[in-house]
Structure 1
Amino acid sequence: MTGSGPVCTRSIARRRPQRAAGVLLSALALLAGSACSVAGADPIGEGPDTLRVVLPEEPPTLEPCDASLTATGRVTRANITEALTERDPSTGRLEPALAVKWTRTSATSWTFTLRPGVTFHDGSAFTAAAAAFSIRRATDSAIECNVDGYIFSDSEVTARAVDDSTLEVETAEPDPILPLRLSFVEVVPTSTNPKARVREPVGTGPYRLDEWSQGRFLRLKRYAGYWGEAPDYAAAKYVWRAEGSVRAAMVTNDEADVAIGLAPEDGAGDRAVEFVTNEVSYLRMDATRAPLNDIRIRQAVNYAIDREGLVTAVFAGRPSGQLVSKGVTGHNPRIGPWPYDPDRAKDLVAQARADGVPTGTTVTIIGRNGIYPKAAEAMEVVQDGLLKAGLKVEIKMLDVNAWLEYLLRPFPKNTGPTLLQAQHGNQAGDAAFTMGQIYGSEGAQSSYGTPALDAAIEKAQLASGTERQKAFAQAFARQNDEVVRDAVMANMTGILALSPDVRYRPDSATSDEMRLADMRRAD
């Protein structure tokens, strides 16, 4: 993926009735997948009816049940596919989408009334049978969907169609936030393969997949049968360029309308738009392998990182000490960033070495190209701090597909101790979508946990209201004080470049999904 090649085209965006006009420009999602072209689709050129979007990388997949992966969700969520519910990032409220209302009928069951008159892109009707099928496919199949481990933590969910417009969902254990969890289950027709990932998703959204030319571009086309208000643009074309300066220049040179994942020095000029994200950058430590299995080494890693220096000189953001940002249920205001103390880091490494910990074992930083601006440079700063602390560290930068092998269980074997460069965005607004999957002993993205932390997470997940906030805050404190499984670096600030011909206001959800319907013509 280089900065050379054909430029982006323009696309059509569709506006959702529940969301205000400028929602997420971060639709510049990460792309990197296989080629697919929808049969019979007529090509769309680069005319004024096409919105042109340039991304840092190509999405690895468009599989709907993997839309909780940022690289996939930025393209698919609310554009190609939709869920039963959706959270408004500006208010935190859960809003109707494909479901118009829901009621908790018992401690473990919910009833959803579905929106009438909705059709899929293949012309079939959206019914409760399709909703139940989508829930089963995402949570109870051999596909190993990311949404299952990330959102449901492998909990048992049963969905049943009462009639075409009524859906009943039951859980094995009480779940006070089930409607919020279902905002991550993208609904697909029953004709979708239940046993394998798909490359040509069919949904109910304002856009359908038109063509995906591997390594070149991805194009969406407005769906004429959409149930909501039609978006301004008739099509959207995504391309990807690895260099931020190239992406910015494409907007300033009128070769693209939107570019995301930019750094302050990329040269977007008066086209640059800054926005607060819910993304938190961190390093996941493999605490099962020496020397990282010694808590003193994990503490030393934290003391050795100059967070203020990182956000000043490398990427935009503010230093942070926990994986959820302010406004998320469970955020603990008492947890601050670890202080930069290189002398303390050096002392801890020396103490561990004196006790026989093999501090000379090479620790590999597994980085990801394009995860945020200047990703490699950030890891070089971290490496320098760890080397000065007395650790032996090397960096391996990977593209998204290879990096995903390290993000999700089962992890590669025989790799030695690793620090995984990662970023977490809690768009749902509840720590349940962070703690279990990232810090639970069996979490889909967890490399290490403890029984005590598992118990604290379970207690919080069953609570509601103020007790839920308190319980999750206590779980974060336990992780920070007793487990130290990672090194949280910064709550990231996003920068995108926007054409003067497009009206769009990014928000905290922009880094996880980009609603083309929220992008409108400036005239």
Structure 2
Amino acid sequence: MKPWLATVCLTLAATAAAPAQTLRWASQGDLQTLDPVSQNESFTNAMNGQIYDFLVARDKKLEIVPSLATEWKQDGALQWTFKLRRGVKFHDGRPFTADDVVFSVQRAKEKTSQISNYANALGEPKKIDDFTVEFHLQQFNPGFLEHLNTVYIMSKSWCEEHRVTKPQDFTNKEETYAARNANGTGPYMLVSRAPDVKTVLKRNPNYWGTFEGNVQEVIYTPIASAPTRVAALISGELDFILDPPPPDLARLRETPGVKVFDGPENRVIFLGMDQARDELLYSNVKGKNPFKDLRVRKALYQAIDIETIKTKLMNGQAQPTGAVVPSSLGDFGDPEIEKRLPYDLEAAKKLMAEAGYGDGFEVTLDCPNNRYINDERICQTLASMWARLKVTVRVNAMPKVNYFPKLDKLDTSMYMLGWGGSITDAETTFTPVYRNRAEGGVGSYNYGNYKDDELDALAAAQSKEADPEKRKAIIKQVFQRHNAQIHHIPLHRQFIPWAARAGVNVVHRADNWFELQWVTIK
């Protein structure tokens, strides 16, 4: 038997000496659902992560650490064994056992789960006893622990009692008990939930872990208007905002009683195009699809003045990139992979003429207006840039609660998407975003529905290659093929500054995950 890979002794009682404090905070949009695997959207994930736990968690530097699992070992390439934390209870008092782990993994594999591709990569979970679980894999998974950190642990009996053994079908607007109610083992408990109005949490008095902060109550209010959010922070009506607009940062830094926490985010912003249909849903081009032509995709790419977007729109709070991956760590910092195609309007016009679109065409660009930094404004700026190619772009901006279900139905001709989080390994981008759409969540975020068998085979091969150097070489081939075919148009990696009242101390993580149990209010 191999030695245990990790073990940590954690205090099993929350600190009781902290004074009662209420944290009032806001951002531009609301979490989409309380069902923790129904929507794989970072803000929704982070909010659910205050209520639900994983088997393994992330520390302040995004390293994997124990959570509901105290220790684990890998027996060969295809088996993992986990010891579970004893004495843990769900918020309603139900005991946590191995049955909940097996159930939660299987639930996360359902078709209505948006993390099914990660859950399927975990293999089959098997209960050994109440506090031991084994995972049996069909093939080697180099990112096993990373994928495990995407599966929230739910109470099997609670889900059965409330008839939510399958995740909410968010795309088709299903309403379930789990969408507005929650029962986790995490540091905070749900008090009330009014979608798009207010969500209230309170500290879990029976939490198994420790609290570094002193927040007892949390009141989250989505505020769509950026000026209103900023004004509420300055006036003291809010203690914290997650997404201060870039143009206001200089003013906020100079405002008495306010401070700014800086940091880049592991998130790339890019564009996708319908490359599957013979005729676009939302275009004046009939009988053919301009996005099937590589020359058109390349022309749109080269007509983007990315430096203007960076300096004038993002106020420098963005890093242009040519790689569709959240962090340069994912492509090993390879400058050739990171390199963008040059901004060259004349070359773009020539490509459009060669493709038979010298007089341009009309198309609709779907875009969220409350998900990414300056998302709608970026789409409007792109529309003005592409007008120089005589391409008339109608920007169709909408709240994310409507936006993502639209994309899930492939009801789009062109769209903006952001991809990121705590995992920097390329696999977590390749399987859901780069690959051909298939069962088990593979290619589920390939909303352009392109089919590239060569790219798909390379991406599949790297996901099971055990030799690190061989895998690195395959990963680079995936990027090279994807970039050459321009299946997506990369823009930039966004920076995420946070802003708070002077007496509020937080931990700024690169995955934009706001961890409430680390917050201290003086």
Classify the TM-score, shorter chain. 0.7 to 0.9
Q: Deviations over 1:265-296 (max 9, x none)?
A: 23433423221110111111222241111000
Q: Does 1:489 align with 2:457?
A: no
Q: Does 1:50 align with 2:35?
A: no
Counterpart secondary structure, 2:310: helix
Residues 159 and 330 of structure 1: is their aligned pair in 2 closer, same or farther, counting only changes over 3 Å? farther
Q: Would you say the 8 A contact 1:366–1:421 is kept in 2?
A: yes
Inter-partner Cα distance in structure 1 for 2:333 and 2:436: 21
| Number of residue-to-residue matches in the alignment | 462
2:501 to 479, 499, 502: 499
Q: Does 1:180 align with 2:164?
A: no
Matches within 5 A, 1:415-454: 418-442=413-437, 443-446=443-446, 447=448, 448-454=450-456
Q: Does 1:472 align with 2:467?
A: no
Q: Would you say the 8 A contact 1:300–1:344 is kept in 2?
A: yes
Q: Does 1:203 align with 2:206?
A: no
Q: Does 1:245 align with 2:227?
A: yes
Counterpart secondary structure, 2:329: coil
2:32 to 50, 60, 76: 60
Q: Deviations over 1:317-354 (max 9, x none)?
A: 1111112212336554322122211111111111101x
Q: Would you say the 8 A contact 2:122–2:147 is kept in 1?
A: no
Residues 473 and 93 of structure 1: is their aligned pair in 2 closer, same or farther, counting only changes over 3 Å? farther
Inter-partner Cα distance in structure 1 for 2:22 and 2:421: 31
2:464 to 459, 462, 465: 462
Q: Does 1:341 align with 2:344?
A: yes
Residues 243 and 393 of structure 1: is their aligned pair in 2 closer, same or farther, counting only changes over 3 Å? same
Inter-partner Cα distance in structure 2 for 1:121 and 1:285: 44
Q: How far 1:115 sits from its partner (Å)?
A: 1.5
Q: Would you say the 8 A contact 1:251–1:257 is kept in 2?
A: yes
The equivalent residue for 2:196 is 215
1:81 to 47, 52, 60: 52
Counterpart secondary structure, 2:153: coil
Q: Would you say the 8 A contact 2:276–2:451 is kept in 1?
A: no
Q: How far 1:469 sits from its partner (Å)?
A: 2.8
Q: How far 1:457 sits from its partner (Å)?
A: 0.4
Inter-partner Cα distance in structure 1 for 2:190 and 2:300: 44
Inter-partner Cα distance in structure 2 for 1:331 and 1:419: 29
Q: Would you say the 8 A contact 1:57–1:241 is kept in 2?
A: yes
Q: How far 1:367 sits from its partner (Å)?
A: 0.6
Q: Would you say the 8 A contact 1:135–1:185 is kept in 2?
A: yes
Residues 358 and 165 of structure 1: is their aligned pair in 2 closer, same or farther, counting only changes over 3 Å? farther
Q: How far 1:247 sits from its partner (Å)?
A: 1.3
Q: Would you say the 8 A contact 1:369–1:399 is kept in 2?
A: yes
Q: How far 1:234 sits from its partner (Å)?
A: 0.6
Q: How far 1:361 sits from its partner (Å)?
A: 4.1
The equivalent residue for 1:373 is 373
The equivalent residue for 2:124 is 158
Inter-partner Cα distance in structure 2 for 1:333 and 1:89: 28
Q: How far 1:499 sits from its partner (Å)?
A: 1.1
Q: Would you say the 8 A contact 2:37–2:167 is kept in 1?
A: no
Residues 221 and 145 of structure 1: is their aligned pair in 2 closer, same or farther, counting only changes over 3 Å? same
2:252 to 268, 276, 279: 268
Amino acid at match of 2:294: I
The equivalent residue for 2:271 is 283
The equivalent residue for 1:170 is 136
Q: How far 1:301 sits from its partner (Å)?
A: 1.1
The equivalent residue for 2:299 is 300
Inter-partner Cα distance in structure 1 for 2:333 and 2:482: 13
Inter-partner Cα distance in structure 2 for 1:87 and 1:470: 28
Inter-partner Cα distance in structure 2 for 1:477 and 1:427: 24
Inter-partner Cα distance in structure 1 for 2:490 and 2:132: 43
Q: Would you say the 8 A contact 1:329–1:431 is kept in 2?
A: yes
Inter-partner Cα distance in structure 1 for 2:429 and 2:122: 19
Q: How far 1:372 sits from its partner (Å)?
A: 2.4
Inter-partner Cα distance in structure 2 for 1:378 and 1:331: 26
Residues 17 and 279 of structure 1: is their aligned pair in 2 closer, same or farther, counting only changes over 3 Å? farther
Inter-partner Cα distance in structure 2 for 1:148 and 1:359: 43
Amino acid at match of 1:82: D
Counterpart secondary structure, 1:468: helix
Residues 254 and 156 of structure 1: is their aligned pair in 2 closer, same or farther, counting only changes over 3 Å? closer
Higher RCO, Cα 8 Å, sep 6+:
1
Amino acid at match of 2:305: D
Task: Calculate the aligned-residue CA RMSD, in Å.
Answer: 2.2
Amino acid at match of 1:319: P
Q: Would you say the 8 A contact 1:365–1:396 is kept in 2?
A: yes
Counterpart secondary structure, 1:80: coil
Matches within 5 A, 1:357-436: 360-408=360-408, 410-412=409-411, 418-436=413-431
Q: How far 1:260 sits from its partner (Å)?
A: 1.5
Q: Would you say the 8 A contact 1:89–1:427 is kept in 2?
A: no
Q: Deviations over 1:174-197 (max 9, x none)?
A: 223222201000001112121343
Q: How far 1:165 sits from its partner (Å)?
A: 0.9
Q: How far 1:264 sits from its partner (Å)?
A: 2.4
Identity %: 26
Q: Would you say the 8 A contact 1:87–1:428 is kept in 2?
A: no
Counterpart secondary structure, 1:489: strand
Counterpart secondary structure, 1:81: coil
Counterpart secondary structure, 1:132: helix
Q: Does 1:256 align with 2:238?
A: yes
